[in-house]
Amino acid sequence: ERAFPRATLGCPVLDDLLHGGLPCGSITEIVGESGVGKTQLCLQACLSVQLPRERGGLEGSSVYIYTEGDPPVKRLCELVERRVRRQLSHGSLPPLDNVLIDCDIASPKDLWVCINQLPNVIKGSSMRMPVRLVMIDSVANVFRDVSDRPTVTELKERTSMMFRAAAVLKELADRHNLAVLVVNQVADTMQGVNEELQSSGRGVLPSLGLAWSNCVNTRIFASRTGQGLDASRKLQILFSPHLPPAACEYQIRPEGVVG
Ligand code: GTP
């Protein structure tokens, strides 16, 4: 536990599920359908990691690689106003100065270049707090548009790139004792297979397939039934080297993700 500190998610229920928060030194993946709240969790994580240690934070900054278009900066500002401004008023820089957002990612190659720049970005970061969290939201989105029917060569290249990208992320997680959070989507066409896998306890097959599955250490599955404020949302640990299978419910409120 001591060797792998946790970064709070800013919600006691989620922190309980993860035994303290996102683990440093490994790759955590959150998988789920669109609209389930994966981005909301990322936004909350990049603010919570800045919290002082006595509040479960790591007094760290974060790098947020956003591949889905315009980054949700407005929502991030809203979360700062609603939940963390007072908690962070311990002489630190304004919270947004401790989040580096990279959103210029349109292709797998862009993502690969971006991931390879991370070691230098982290070393040369002008953010005052050390980088303790790296997030990619989402990794599936980058690959989705490439080709619906990839050739065998394309598939091999893609798989090889994913393995190499995961190796870079894992090395960073180890070297800087930071948490890596990767967002992924469940492939819609795989829904039937997913249900089968879930009911057999083996977990979901996200859109990047089994090659990527082997690269992540902890996988969390987010799901939703119903719509809007009445939606019932659930987070479930599918596999993890340090956590038992478990689940919790959560909601998304103006002040963020709450248990
Ligand atoms: P994809 O990016 O499409 O895969 O979805 P996601 O899982 O990342 O979902 P996201 O976190 O973007 O949004 C999930 C839900 O959060 C939405 O359906 C809304 O209910 C809620 N939400 C998103 N933005 C806001 C906001 O600014 N305020 C509030 N109160 N809720 C929001």
How do residues 42-81 score in pLDDT, each as one tens digit?
999 999 999 999 999 999 999 999 999 999 999 999 998 8
Cβ–ligand 1 distance for 35 under 6 Å, the answer: yes
Substitution site in 9, 29, 34, 39 for ligand 1 pocket (most atoms within 8 Å of beta carbon): 39
Residue 226 CA, ligand 1 centroid: distance in Å: 14
Do you know the residue count of the chain?
A: 259
The model's pTM is 0.90
Cβ–ligand 1 distance for 69 under 6 Å, the answer: no
How confident is the model at residue 212, as a pLDDT? 76
Return the H-helix or E-strand segment holding 144: helix 139-144
Kindly report the protein residue whose alpha carbon is nearest to atom 3 of ligand 1. Answer: 34
pLDDT per residue as tens digits for the range 108-124: 889 999 999 999 999 98
CA distances from 39 to 26, 87, 146, 210 (A): 20, 22, 22, 23
Strands (E), the chain: 6-7, 22-23, 27-32, 61-66, 99-102, 131-137, 179-185, 218-225, 232-239, 247-253, 256-258
182: helix, strand or coil: strand
pLDDT per residue as tens digits for the range 211-237: 777 889 999 999 998 887 778 899 999
pLDDT per residue as tens digits for the range 160-206: 888 899 999 999 999 999 999 999 987 654 455 555 555 555 555 55
Cβ–ligand 1 distance for 68 under 6 Å, the answer: yes
